[in-house]
Structure 1
Amino acid sequence: MATNDTSSEFKAELLRPAKPGGDTPWAFVILPKSASEKLPRRGRTTVEGTINDHDFRATLEPDGQLSHWLRVNQELLDVIDANIGDIATFEIMSVAEEPEPEVPSDLAEALALAPQARVVWDETTTIARLDWIHWITSAKQAKTRAKRISDACDMLASGKRRVCCFDPSGYYSKALSAPKAAE
């Protein structure tokens, strides 16, 4: 179920990432600010709608510029009959209820070993859990990620329900951004 006041229609180029990583090609789209501004948050947010008249549901990532970007994998490119470089037509709106995020295995293992942290984790909102996961997964180095998992368990065990000092939009910290497009 979606919220109509967040509805937007736009056209955008399917961009090739400069550093795609992996063997499977994928594309991305940076949402127009006007579409992003209608969404409920500047951080990760889930939308549903259509691309070239084909239904889809995806979690948008923050681009660090108070907007969002969308990864379009090869499977979706095939479904929408589009190639990197094509202009696609989008209709999006936020979902009525954010889906439960997938907990990374290293965080799940740490929470299993910290029962007090797990209790608070289970009592937080879906959005709070999404922010905790985003904070952890936005670490660029394995050492930083491990420290954030340890810190998260400590903070949760002490009753802290929200991660502090984390800008989920990436705008103020510049920790998050959209991929760079290939030339």
Structure 2
Amino acid sequence: MEKADVSTFESKLLRPTKPGNDDSWAFLVLPKSASDTLPRRGRTSVEGTINGYLFQATLEPDGQLSHWLKVSKGLREAACANIGEMVAIQISPANPEPEPQLPDDLQEALAVSPAAKAAWEDTTTIARVDWVHWIESAKQAKTRKQRVENACDMLSSGKKRVCCFDQSGFYSKSLSAPQAAD
């Protein structure tokens, strides 16, 4: 990590109002000044520390041109970080950007479309992050299914990047940080 790439700040560890099936996670929102040092407004992988404990994670866009971080129970416990408390954070962009985890539905669709799979393998890691982000940002199952189909069609036709998708959520307001419980 070069010194210029490192952002150091404090943030409050928050409990989400709607944690889904797993209520053990928490989150924190990066100050905009820390997000401004990152290479992208969309999903961005970072490495750093929470209360001095090393971690690597992918930040999510908060729809306000900043990012938020989902903090698992394991990471919270290892970093001695309790919900409701301020935590010390130090982050820098991951270099290189790690490969995104391929969602099962996209993996299945690529498996039956050799042209789409070949185009997928010929794209950059950042482009694959954007494709996965676009699919996973769908709010409804029907929309997600359509996006998987469209992704395979677009990849098969030679398209290597998702266009017209606001990875930050700022213009479409499609993405945001979770709401914090009181």
TM beyond 0.5: yes
Contact 1:117 1:157 in 2 (8 A): yes
Residue equivalent to 1:42: 41
Secondary structure in structure 1 of the residue aligned to 2:48: strand
- With normalisation by structure 1, the TM-score equals 0.97
Tell me the amino acid that sits aligned with residue 115 of structure 1: P
Q: How does 1:71-82 map to 2 (within 5 A)?
A: 71-82=70-81
Match status 1:161 vs 2:167: no
Task: Supply the distance in 2 between the matched residues of 1:174 and 1:167 (Cα, whole angstroms).
Answer: 9
Q: Which residue identity lines up with residue 132 of structure 2 in the other structure?
A: I
Aligned to 1:96: 95
Report the alpha carbon displacement of residue 119 of structure 1 after superposing the two structures with TM.
0.7
CA distance, structure 2, for counterparts of residue 84 and residue 71 of structure 1: 12
How far did residue 33 of structure 1 move?
A: 0.5
Give the match's secondary structure for 2:163: coil
Residue 30 of structure 2 is matched in structure 1 by 31
Corresponding residue SS for 2:10: strand
In 1: Cα distance, 2:55 partner to 2:111 partner = 33
Tell me what 1:146 maps to: 145
Normalised TM-score (structure 2): 0.97
Total equivalences in the alignment: 182
Deviations 1:138-172 (A, max 9, x none): 00111100100100100000000001110111111
- How far does residue 3 in structure 1 lie from its aligned partner after superposition? 4.9
1:92-136: per-residue Cα shift (whole Å, max 9, x none)? 111121001110011011011111111111000000011000000
Structure 2: gaps of 5 or more residues: none
Whether the 8 Å contact between 1:3 and 1:96 is mirrored in structure 2 is: no
Q: Report the equivalent of 1:116.
A: 115
Distance 1:81 1:117 in 2: 44
Q: How far is the alpha carbon of 1:25 from its aligned partner? A: 1.5
Give the whole-Å Cα distance in 1 for the aligned partners of 2:127 and 2:65.
19
Say whether 1:55 aligns with 2:76. no
Q: SS of 1:166's equivalent?
A: coil
The answer to whether the 8 Å contact 1:30/1:70 transfers is yes
* 1:7-31 deviations in Å (ceiling 9; x for gaps): 1100110011111122442111000
